[in-house]
Amino acid sequence: MVEVCLLGSGGMMPLPNRWLTALLYRYNGKMVLVDCGEGTQIPVKLAGWGFKNIEVICITHYHADHIAGLPGMLLAIGNSGRREPLTILGPPMLNDVVQGLTIIARELPFEMKLIELSGEIPTTNSVGEILIHSIPVEHTMPCLSYSIEIKRAGKFHVEMAKKYNIPIQFWSRLQKGEIIQHKNQTYFPAMVLGEPRKGIKVSYCTDTRPIEALVDFVRESDLLICEGMYGEEEKLEKAIEKKHMIFSEAATIAQKGCVKELWLTHYSPALENPEKFYDNAKSIFANTVLGEDLLRKTIYFE
């Protein structure tokens, strides 16, 4: 199973009743944090999942509401007792941005691995079984959307393992996808595994216009977390100017991409009551949820 927690639902600036949009994702004890605006460590603390097992921080872009909380977050992770390396992914200029921000967090007890992702083509990185895909999107500066995926191998067939006389001590390793060589014999996972089963896919898109590539990128996501900067249809012109989305545009991406569930987030500070415009999204994509701080979901394998 995969657990997700929307740490905040705001854009531009944290408000007394609304933290900035960020996602905390957990699978098999490993966590991925997507975005880290001002004060993000507070909702992380409130979520109760701890800091130590954050393996990767994914940054969408370098506006303050998505990265200015990074020094404090790194210090909180260090104070939690983490000593293992931590990976940070982000668009071009990642090295310069992180070096500048961490001038006030110089003595961290762990190594940082900085991976600058392409601002022009999709990329994929892995953390154990967790696959992190990125795609460039359309904002006022280089920006990425992310998709976090757990693939699932086919069902293990005991009868096939017995047919090929595979020693039982190798069964679990084959089930995990390893190729085993033993006494001049080579055992392949395909000898004992059925067709791959459906995994779990969570996509995260903020600060972008609804480009066509996003539809395929988020396709068949179990959960799409997508910005709805403005609720009103009348704000479309402003959304185009500022390179953001309105509720109906996010819902259209969810509908075209055949996702299972949509969470709206990254509300403008001026959008005090998102529920007033809920039907603008729900009329297009029925399984739409208005994001709110610390909204959680557990997603199980089918």
Which domains are present in the chain? Answer: 2-153+196-299 (3.60.15.10), 154-195 (no CATH)
Catalytic residue (choose from 65, 207, 222, 293): 65
Structure tokens at 227: 């910005």
Q: What is the pLDDT of residue 183?
A: 81
Copy the structure tokens of residue 302.
Answer: 């089918």
Q: Please give the pLDDT value at position 163.
A: 85
Tell which residue, 265, 267, 277, has the closest CA to residue 203.
265
The string of pLDDT tens digits covering residues 23-51 is: 999 999 999 999 999 999 999 999 999 99
C-alpha Rg value of the chain to the nearest Å: 21
For residue 92, the SS3 value is coil
Global model pTM greater than 0.85: yes
Distance, in Å, from the CA atom of 155 to the CA atom of 176, rounded to the nearest integer, reads: 11
Provide the 8-state DSSP code for 186. Answer: E
pLDDT (tens digit per residue) in 153-205: 778 888 888 888 888 888 888 887 788 888 888 888 888 887 778 899 999 99
DSSP secondary structure string, 111-125?
-EEEEEPPSSS-EEE
Is residue 35 among the annotated active site residues? no
CA distance 250 to 245: 7
Q: Can you give the pLDDT at residue 302?
A: 86
* Across 45-59, 115-129, 162-176, least confident range: 162-176
- 3-state class (DSSP) for residue 302: coil
Average pLDDT, the chain: 94
pLDDT the model gives residue 172: 82
**How would you label 181-217 residue by residue, b for 16+ Cβ within 10 Å and e otherwise?**
eeeeeebebeebbeeeeebbbbbbbbbbebeeebbeb
Residue 173 or residue 282, greater confidence: 282
- At 286 the three-state DSSP class reads coil
H/E stretch holding 30: strand 30-34
**Sequence-ordered alpha helix ranges (H) in 30-136:** 41-47, 64-67, 70-79, 94-101
299 contact partners, CB below 8 Å, separation of at least 6: 1, 2, 3, 4, 200, 202, 222, 223
Model pLDDT, residue 176: 77
Residue 62 binned pLDDT confidence (cut-offs 50, 70, 90) = very high
User: Which residue, 243, 261, 259, 38, is CA-closest to 143?
Assistant: 243
